[in-house]
Structure 1
Amino acid sequence: MIFNRTKDRIFYQTLIDAAGNIVEAVQLFRENVETLEEKEKYAERLKELESKGDTYTHLMIKELNSTFVTPLDREDILNLAVKLDDVLDGIEACAARFVYFHVNKSAPYLVQFADIIVSSALLLQESFIALEKKDFQSIRKISIEINDLENQGDKLMRDSLFTLFENPSDGLELFKMKEIIEKLERVTDLFEDLMDVMEGVILKYA
């Protein structure tokens, strides 16, 4: 059987590029939550990156439909692409909530969540680079690190909600921040979900 290595490269590079797009998005998100003073500008930019992510997903689907032999199972490639899109959608949704909830002031836990998400995104990008190299040992290590970051996100959510509800003064503000905190924690879950798919992929090929 003849394998088209150029086609293989397209699949891997598109996944790496999509992960890189997420890195750019989360770094912007981190800048945004520093003060939230220009939240509208950041939300617009993140929406552009979310649309760019959709382009990567559509490109992947197009290549899957036109390629006879793929470097990984078609279902796995598609699942990875969709999970990448889910992560980006989650980040963009958080940035949008700052705007339409009229959140004008940041908080330490927002910055802490952003730091966790940035670390997760950088590791995620590394995992897709390792996937092309078939460096399965590195992927397993990264999966453990992302799982640890997800656990940190769980704890941060619990601690943040405890602080919010300890001395509530404004019910509306409480609702806004509770919604955003839970959405941010869900983003950390999405990174872990993606690595679960990656773990399943390497089990087939390791």
Structure 2
Amino acid sequence: MLFNRSKDRLFYQIMVDATANIMEAAQLFRENVETLEEKEKYAERIKELESKGDEYTHLLIKELNQTFVTPLDHEDILKLASNVDDVLDGIEACAARFVYMHVDKSTPYLVKFAEILENSARHLQDAFIALEKRDFGTIRKISVEINNLENEGDKLMRESVSTLFEEPVDPVELIKMKEIYERLEDVTDTFEDVMDVMESVVMKYA
């Protein structure tokens, strides 16, 4: 039987903890873009969470290598772990860009992107909690929600970049903000990538 061994709990707990870590990073990112007045401090804290996320990934791989029978296929767990890691890497990369690109002023678009990331992170954690419970109906609903948020991110990127070219702006500032807006949209894609893998898992085990 699947999902009935004590070791199973460990795999799910690591993945849920990893998504809680992403949730914390997304909350910090949102706080950061409210003003960007303490961007260095926030970038450092988010970097610490990114390193913690790497530890979760390494722990999961270690347990996979030591466990013959797992609650999901080894390949599925590895894909989920890798894509979850990509989410946090993306958030950290955006926070770092504020520092080394010397972005000192926030914009309404940055705030909206941060809200999308925070909402996506919350849904992602709920999805992994549902996965352990084999609540596949909830996972499908969450997948739709995250897809909707990704669509919002895509529209927001187009609008924000379009605005840069509509209004007079310093060329260097345009390059910086265009890069950041596009990178933030990429992060919304990574949430959807996780859910694509999870939906394939649902199809396999439902």
Q: TM-score range by the shorter chain?
A: over 0.9
TM-score, length of structure 2 as denominator length: 0.98
Task: Name structure 1 gaps, 5 residues minimum.
Answer: none
Question: Match for residue 203 of structure 2?
Answer: 203
Q: Identity rate of aligned residues, in percent?
A: 74
Quick one: distance in 1 between partners of 2:55 and 2:6?
20
TM-score, length of structure 1 as denominator length: 0.98
Question: Match for residue 118 of structure 1?
Answer: 118
Quick one: distance in 2 between partners of 1:7 and 1:162?
51
Quick one: distance in 2 between partners of 1:163 and 1:68?
54
Length, aligned pairs only: 206
Question: Match for residue 84 of structure 2?
Answer: 84
Quick one: distance in 1 between partners of 2:34 and 2:100?
18
CA RMSD, 1 decimal: 1.2
The one-letter amino acid paired with 1:75 is E
Q: Deviations over 1:135-184 (max 9, x none)?
A: 00000000000000000000000110111110232000000000000000
Quick one: distance in 2 between partners of 1:4 and 1:184?
39
Question: Match for residue 44 of structure 1?
Answer: 44
Quick one: distance in 1 between partners of 2:91 and 2:197?
20
Quick one: distance in 2 between partners of 1:140 and 1:78?
21
Quick one: distance in 1 between partners of 2:101 and 2:18?
29
The 5 A counterparts of 1:94-109 are: 94-109=94-109
The one-letter amino acid paired with 1:177 is M
Quick one: distance in 2 between partners of 1:169 and 1:155?
21
Question: Match for residue 11 of structure 1?
Answer: 11
Quick one: distance in 2 between partners of 1:167 and 1:4?
59
Residues 150 and 192, structure 1, Cα contact 8 Å, conserved in 2: yes
**Deviation for aligned residue 1:6:** 2.0
